[in-house]
Chains A and B, each alone.
Chain A
């Protein structure tokens, strides 16, 4: 685990931030009930970065929506920061999301008739920041994302990668204790994915707890932990090794000048 660790309140590490216990979700469909999530137990600690992977239809997005209060579980418990939240009303969830949870959607969901800066500032304002704090936070995030020159632009003028970075900035604007992201690189080209990944990695290094759903292994491998979902159940929950840092020694070795290749 990198990043600052909050005081431990549970054995073996930082405080438990999010806990799901035997969570299920059944949808009513024409052909009868469909169980999308079938008894998931999951714990995320403060500052932890975990990825949820699994084939399409495995329940990944539904699980994330349950954890973010966008859907209500059929049964089971969800605890956030020591508080049980699965039974909260939509209004209370909305408050929780404004203040404690950043949510990044696959299709950005930016407000199209507001500027980039207004999209980000609004999230900070709704999280309780003053107008000046919101403007400062927005400027800081956009600078970090290399989007300062797009602050006054309409989202539609931005590339997909830029819009996703704005969506990420918006989700981080209120300094949430938990960032939930649903396929945050799902619609991006390789360089767009790279910049989103860099931002996530940096946010995590600064102590941001992140839980994201992805089918992109490179995104998942940035996390310290990968949870494999299958048929609505957790098939595996694996801690990844710290990335191996090869010595730069090899590159420094001299090659006889006659043999140097060109091109």
Chain B
């Protein structure tokens, strides 16, 4: 959440609620709606770390709003984030941990585990495919298409796990 907020503030100062709306607008329905409380907490931490600064803007008919802007340090942190390669293959996969370790907890029905997960993936794919059809071209649809491709790979991987472990 930190870096996306810095990126949005790089364009112009904004208050917390505007940032929430912007994230929703850019990333669309598939993106989990950011919690406003989490946004405020993140902004406070960014300020504590010197990456943003804020000031209260007086509004006549409403409570004051706190407007945040990027500092030079924030701009540098943002540039470093953009330049850094992102995390590659998903080595820490929660489901795989369950599959690998469940026999230790006495649960040895790995096929049931795999089937349950497969149903969940298929339902996610069904929901996202419907969403993709309702979403115009652009960032939000690319996000959905990416999620779908990952889910297809997850299904293929489940088959491999089933071949090997069941």
Contacts and interface: CB of A to CB of B under 8 A. Distances in A.
B35 interface: no
A258 B12 contact: yes
Contacts of A253: 21, 24-25
A195 to B, nearest CB: 12
A54 interface: yes
B126 to A, nearest CB: 4
Interface string B135-163: 00000000000001001100100011011
Contact of A220 (B11, B12, B122, B131): B122
B12 A259 contact: yes
Contacts, number: 84
A239 to B, nearest CB: 9
B92 to A, nearest CB: 23
A251 B24 CA distance: 8
A256 B123 CA distance: 36
Contact of A236 (B33, B118, B126, B148): B118
* Interface SS of B by simple majority: helix
Interface in B79-135: 111, 115, 118-119, 121-123, 125-127, 129-131, 134
Contacts of B24: 250, 253
A29 interface: no
Interface stretch (A125-133, A159-167, A241-249): A241-249
Q: In this complex, which of A221, A226, A243, A253 has the most chain B Cβ atoms within 10 angstroms of its Cβ?
A: A221
A230 B162 contact: yes
6 closest A-B pairs by beta carbon, nearest first, are A243-B130, A221-B126, A236-B115, A221-B125, A55-B159, A238-B119
Interface of B: 11-12, 14, 18, 21-22, 24-26, 28-29, 33, 111, 115, 118-119, 121-123, 125-127, 129-131, 134, 148, 151-152, 155, 159-160, 162-163
